[in-house]
Chain A
């Protein structure tokens, strides 16, 4: 009886201690994220796409195909149909090899393109380029945005005015025009394209971070830190930056999506990455011509992969925002 009382008493005590140790926003957010099924599914799909693209050489080797070998005799093969018969009667009544069967037989599971190159392996290699451009450009814009945004938002003054003027000017030129102008003139390599997206994309992030910093700067605990003699750099690092992490994470996810879309559009207009380097965008450049070659599948998969990737990123961005929202309680 006594022991019982003690044990419940201990349980109470430890329970109280649990209550007292407040959970950090980060822990809470991560727990919420783990519980958000849609976000987790999107993350899984995205990681799967990244893994498939990264493993492109391994996968293509295993299938016995590669992304570069042209084969004029087997251009425009359709998607492989494992149930197709080997021979088929064509419109003129002759026995010919069934192309859907041939595609399986040769290991071209998603068919071949206009030059007879394997479509699946080109999609995987294109994924490497498209994803790499999206991720690295977004990281660059977010880094520039957070440094400039924090500096201008915290210090204000002439620097703030000047950066604001540059932002207003750049934002006055429609983004697509600016992108087209720069890439039409410089015909960029994938690396140069990252630079182009960084040049045109940093303004949004800078504005966002500047506004947030501006609001945080005037909060009481920053004043307290300053009163205790903390330097500006320390305040920015210890008190401002941690508050920006969620905003940055959301912005990163949305930026990657937006840049992948922009890269696809530019490459589709044949102003982005130049063939033979494949990206999901430039694989669609001649898609209209493929209609007549009975090769509509060539127009489907690249666009589908872009859509899935961007959709996942947007859902993840939304999920992170909700997870970090302090007004939501669970």
Chain B
């Protein structure tokens, strides 16, 4: 088992490497580039200022140098050995990149591999911004996952028990319809009827606006969570219920169920003790992707309900071209995905004794 985990982790290194290349290329391919955004903030600078910023940011360096600077930092590229605040040795890049006759200050970037994602456009540390936005995302995600899994599994079992019956067909239709409805539109409809017309739930946000921008504990603002959680869990319910139904029917056809039946065990014992427990095993494969969705935030749902989580900050970063946040989020979400799949596989191995690595 341990060996297997190590092997899987090693296998994910090339994938991670590919993701960093992808995120980096996406950013460099952008029209305008990072210097565009910076000189836009300081319009008096003119062309010369823009060129100086570009040189300082190292945007004139070859692309592999830029990639390395972003990935593992530039504190080793341009070093200050005598402590006068100016660099005196350098590898890969010039000592005086902006050409003003004075050596540049030493590199300060540590690179994303060492957790330095740089600064956001508002000069805050990207990592701080993301960590601050994690709790809202987690509270929505965990609630949606719990509700989605419990309801989905229950509906799936009932549908399997009632195969071909009214409830089975109803749950099938429900799942197909939920999959076909755009979830942002469902959100709009709920907002209109429940929040705007009937005023049962608030229209947006995580809690009532306060001066210090803080929210009370979760049990005092449940009404803000209801609609986003409904939207997020709808898709999960559809997925889990179909999957659970198929898994349950698969198990019920097995020989050991026939054995249990021939022993004269009551139906309830057969369905729940012998059937459900085994039917739940494949559900473990759902946990990985679900976890990923949970950590990555729900861009669309958080946007509709203006819920200040990772998803909302991601969306804002994309539209404002806040590159460091965009790249950080892309890497963060990708790592979550890789770990999610790994977790699924490990859980699967732990739960199902037939699987040995």
Contact = CB atoms under 8 A, between A and B. Distances in A.
A300 B193 CA distance: 12
A261 interface: yes
How many of chain A's residues touch chain B, expressed as a range? Answer: 35 or more
Contacts of A271: 318-319
Interface string A272-313: 000000000100100110010000100110110011001100
The 10 nearest A-B residue pairs measured at CB: A303-B185, A169-B18, A184-B318, A311-B180, A310-B180, A172-B334, A172-B337, A185-B30, A291-B196, A173-B334
A303 B189 contact: yes
B182 A261 contact: yes
Contact of B19 (A169, A180, A264, A281): A169
Interface in A251-271: 257, 261, 264-265, 268-271
Contact of A307 (B30, B182, B329, B330): B182
A176 interface: yes
Given A181-B26, A185-B26, A300-B189, 18 more contacts: A166-B18, A169-B15, A169-B18, A169-B19, A169-B22, A173-B22, A173-B330, A173-B333, A173-B334, A180-B299, A181-B330, A264-B182, A265-B182, A265-B300, A299-B188, A303-B188, A303-B189, A306-B185
A157 interface: no
B192 interface: yes
Contacts of B293: 174
Nearest to A262: B182
B188 A287 contact: yes
Interface string A308-330: 00110011001000000000000
Interface in B165-193: 176-177, 179-185, 188-189, 191-192
B300 A165 contact: no
Contacts, number: 118
Contacts of B76: none
Contacts of A68: none
Contacts of B330: 173, 177, 181
8 contacts: A168-B18, A173-B19, A177-B329, A185-B26, A265-B182, A303-B185, A306-B182, A311-B177
Interface of B: 14-15, 18-19, 22, 26, 29-31, 176-177, 179-185, 188-189, 191-192, 196, 292-293, 296, 299-300, 303-304, 314-315, 318-319, 321, 326, 329-330, 333-334, 337-338
Given A169-B22, A180-B318, A174 B337 contact: yes
A165 B15 contact: yes
Interface of A: 165-166, 168-174, 176-177, 180-182, 184-186, 257, 261, 264-265, 268-271, 281, 284, 287-288, 291, 296, 299-300, 302-303, 306-307, 310-311, 314-315, 318
